[in-house]
Amino acid sequence: MTLGSRPVLTDYHMHLQPDGEEARRGGAHRWDQYGGYLSPGWIERYVEHARSRAVQEIAFTEHVHRFAEARDWHANAWWREEATEDIDAYCEALGAAKRAGLPVIVGVEMDWLPDRTEEIARFLERRPFDIVLGSVHWVGELAIDHPDYPMWDHHDGVEVWQAYLKELVAAAESGLFDVLAHPDLPKVFGHNLPDEVGAAVMDAVAAIAATGIAVECSSAGLRKKPRELYPEPGLLAEFRAAGVPVTLASDAHRPEDVGSDYPTTVAALRGAGYETITRFAAREPSQVSLRWE
Ligand SMILES: [Zn+2]
Ligand SMILES: [Zn+2]
């Protein structure tokens, strides 16, 4: 699909199902009526909500931990239980949607797991991805945003943020990913950036900028406890000043959240000085004008 040279909105981070087995069981009646969560009918519901918010192109970016191929990448019970799906069936369903003319691109949300770089590279290189998100959800065995494996029980806020930023930079420098997702995720449970970490943040921004990777500006934080964007507007302005390109994202886990809170999100991008967002096709980035009126 060509978006032409007109200003656009995109949504480059979403999931076809909610997180967690219980939530998926509760939601199954919604996608089962179309023939499953990979069915054309369910995918079209996301496109419909995108169109209703003037979003021209969307990327599905399922969590890598959902796929059987990644089952042994991380040694905890939850991860192994989640890894049930077939990645090739997922790519094929999205490829079919694309071929049918829907404004959909094929993506995946990868975890940064520093001891699995070879597996990650192999997983990515054989498949028709348009966009690959890199997310730091885990620091070793502990989780930034999973309540069952909380890093917060073992480390204070300064330690968590410092360790997180170190992994975020390593993820960027790995060269495996196109976009860093939710770059200030540690605030997810309300632990805002401590003042002591300010210098480390600026070092991280510079290191990320040097790699050429994009960061996403995600409205998901507005729907969660932080009640602010990822990254918060001050940090977004630092990324802009350092020349880091951005994508626009909702991290929707249901059709209704595609493009959610975009007026606020686009205003923050404009406020930070961004006039373009990054588009991806076959993992090649290009800049397109951001639609803002
Ligand atoms: Zn994530
Ligand atoms: Zn996500």
Domain boundaries, the chain: 10-289
Residue 216 Cα to ligand 2 midpoint, Å, equals: 11
Residue 290 Cα to ligand 2 midpoint, Å, equals: 22
CA distance 110 to 66: 10
The angle, 0 to 180 degrees and rounded to 10, between the axes of the packed helices 157-173 and 198-211 is 10
Residue 218 Cα to ligand 2 midpoint, Å, equals: 10
Average pLDDT in the chain: 95
Average pLDDT (17-29) is 96
Residue 64 Cα to ligand 2 midpoint, Å, equals: 10
Kindly state the helix (H) or strand (E) to which residue 247 belongs, with its residue range. Answer: strand 246-249
Residue 50 has pLDDT above 60, yes or no: yes
Residue 288 Cα to ligand 2 midpoint, Å, equals: 23
Average pLDDT (167-175) is 98
Residue 58 Cα to ligand 2 midpoint, Å, equals: 13
CA distance 263 to 270: 11
Residue 242 Cα to ligand 2 midpoint, Å, equals: 25
Q: Indicate which ligand has the atom closest to the C-alpha of 137.
A: 1
State residue 4's pLDDT score: 64
Residue 148 has pLDDT above 90, yes or no: no
State residue 43's pLDDT score: 98
Return the half-sphere exposure (C-beta side, CA atoms, 13 A cut-off) of residue 53.
24
Residue 252 Cα to ligand 2 midpoint, Å, equals: 7
pTM, two decimal places: 0.96
Residue 5 Cα to ligand 1 midpoint, Å, equals: 30
State residue 254's pLDDT score: 98
CA distance 274 to 252: 23
Residue 157 Cα to ligand 2 midpoint, Å, equals: 23
Residue 155 Cα to ligand 2 midpoint, Å, equals: 24
Residue 60 Cα to ligand 2 midpoint, Å, equals: 9
Q: Helix count (H) and strand count (E) of the chain?
A: 10, 11
State residue 1's pLDDT score: 55
Residue 18 Cα to ligand 2 midpoint, Å, equals: 10
Average pLDDT (271-278) is 97
Q: What's the CATH number for 10-289?
A: 3.20.20.140
Banded model confidence at residue 3, pLDDT cuts 50, 70, 90: low
Residue 111 Cα to ligand 1 midpoint, Å, equals: 8
Banded model confidence at residue 109, pLDDT cuts 50, 70, 90: very high
Q: Indicate which ligand has the atom closest to the C-alpha of 111.
A: 1
Q: Indicate which ligand has the atom closest to the C-alpha of 62.
A: 2
Higher local confidence (pLDDT), 99 or 186: 99
Q: What is the 3-state secondary structure (H, E, C) of 43-62?
A: HHHHHHHHHHCCCCEEEEEE
